[in-house]
């Protein structure tokens, strides 16, 4: 009996010792990881990746900036990666001024074959067809076309001036916009309101997002270079570019377009937003005046190396 009691006492003492030893011991196998630094690094890496993706998208050689009423892409083509962007726009009047789109495609071919023409600090962007639905009416194809595919029917050519909502896109911008605009002696639709059409919205979004240093738009036909303004005076750089293009191309220079009242004009809307904008009107509705425009384009690009 005495041995049993002694044994129990020993067991109790051992148990108490073990309890206190384990209670005060450090849990060496338990590691608490500080994830704050890792989370910050991950967030920064994600932000950097998004910034790079956004930059790559802006500088992509080909990008859709929007869609037409009928769902056709409005495509911008980039040449060079400089921070000074010069934007060229053709085909705002679709099939009626189809030669302005052919001229834009000629420019793209020239820049592809002669990349050194684009100064290191410049990015050239070309939107060859702002009104793809109107162009399709006249050519019967989407995208690039040849002069042989253009309809010879006068009424078809005129109908191709407008988008699929029968709106004159060059009357749909926010400078003196009116629901009914003028084209020569005709009344045309300016849309339900300024920027009611997806094509003009595409330009608006692109310009706001990219802030080009200058915009040159091609139209037909009067054979001249026209400065833009919207009751804010002609910007000095607009005057400079107008003269530079005129001197190099041989087209006469004009401070404004005063043949008839313009409402909702794209180039004047650009001027309203303090973006130098120049309209180059080809001499007729069939020729691209390539040699003249090539000289004017090269002179403008040289101007932006300053």
Q: What mean pLDDT comes out for the span 228-232?
A: 94
Helix/strand/coil for 36? helix
Provide, rounded to the nearest whole percent, the portion of the chain with pLDDT above 70: 82
Compute CA distances 133 → 94, 137, 199, 217, whole Å: 7, 6, 10, 18
Return the ∠ at Cα 268 (arms to 266 and 269), rounded to 5°. Answer: 65
Closest CA to 274 of 303, 249, 306, 237: 237
* CB-based contacts of 45, cutoff 8 Å, min separation 6: none
66-93 pLDDT, tens per residue?
999 999 999 999 999 999 999 999 999 9
At residue 28, the pLDDT reads 44
pLDDT-derived band of residue 25, with 50, 70 and 90 as boundaries?
very low
The dihedrals phi and psi of 152, each to the nearest 5 degrees, come to -100, 0
Strand blocks (E) in 164-269:
180-183, 186-189, 214-220, 224-227, 253-254
CA distance 170 to 177: 10
101 vs 221, which has greater pLDDT? 101
Residue 304 has pLDDT above 80, yes or no: yes
pLDDT-derived band of residue 9, with 50, 70 and 90 as boundaries?
very low
Closest CA to 123 of 88, 80, 76, 87: 80
The DSSP letter of residue 143 is: S
Exposure b/e, 117-132, CB count within 10 A at least 16 = b: bbbeebbbbbbbbbbb
CA distance 266 to 151: 27
Cα-Cα-Cα-Cα dihedral sign, residues 190, 195, 201, 207: positive
At residue 59, the pLDDT reads 59
* CB-based contacts of 112, cutoff 8 Å, min separation 6: 79
pLDDT-derived band of residue 303, with 50, 70 and 90 as boundaries?
very high
At residue 178, the pLDDT reads 98
Closest CA to 226 of 181, 290, 281: 281
Provide, rounded to the nearest whole percent, the portion of the chain with pLDDT above 90: 77
CA distance 216 to 222: 16
pTM, two decimal places: 0.82
Q: What mean pLDDT comes out for the span 30-46?
A: 61
Count the Cβ atoms, other than its own, within 10 Å of residue 8.
10
């Amino acid at each position: 009996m005495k041995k049993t009691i002694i044994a129990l006492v020993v067991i109790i003492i051992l148990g108490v010792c073990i309890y206190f030893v384990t209670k005060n011991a450090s849990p060496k196998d338990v590691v608490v990881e500080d994830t704050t630094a890792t989370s910050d690094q991950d967030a920064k890496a994600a932000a950097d990746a998004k910034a790079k993706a956004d930059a790559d998208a802006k500088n992509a050689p080909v990008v859709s900036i929007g869609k037409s009423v009928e769902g056709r892409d409005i495509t911008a083509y980039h040449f060079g990666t400089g921070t000074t962007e010069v934007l060229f726009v053709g085909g705002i009047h679709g099939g009626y001024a189809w030669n302005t789109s052919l001229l834009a495609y000629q420019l793209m071919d020239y820049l592809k074959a002669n990349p050194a023409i684009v100064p290191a600090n410049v990015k050239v962007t070309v939107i060859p067809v702002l009104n793809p639905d109107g162009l399709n009416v006249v050519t019967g194809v989407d995208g690039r076309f040849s002069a042989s595919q253009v309809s010879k029917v006068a009424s078809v050519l005129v109908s191709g001036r407008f988008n699929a909502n029968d709106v004159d896109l060059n009357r749909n911008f926010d400078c003196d916009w009116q629901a009914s605009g003028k084209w020569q002696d005709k009344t045309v639709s300016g849309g339900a309101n300024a920027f009611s059409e997806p094509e003009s919205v595409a330009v608006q979004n692109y310009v706001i997002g990219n802030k080009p240093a200058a915009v040159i738009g091609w139209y037909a036909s009067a054979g001249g270079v026209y400065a833009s303004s919207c009751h804010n005076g002609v910007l000095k750089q607009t005057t400079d570019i107008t003269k530079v293009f005129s001197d190099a191309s041989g087209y006469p220079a004009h401070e404004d377009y005063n043949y008839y009242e313009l409402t909702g004009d794209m180039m004047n809307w650009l001027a309203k937003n303090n973006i130098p904008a120049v309209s180059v009107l080809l001499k007729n509705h069939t020729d691209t005046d390539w040699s003249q425009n090539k000289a004017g384009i090269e002179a403008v690009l040289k101007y932006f190396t300053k």
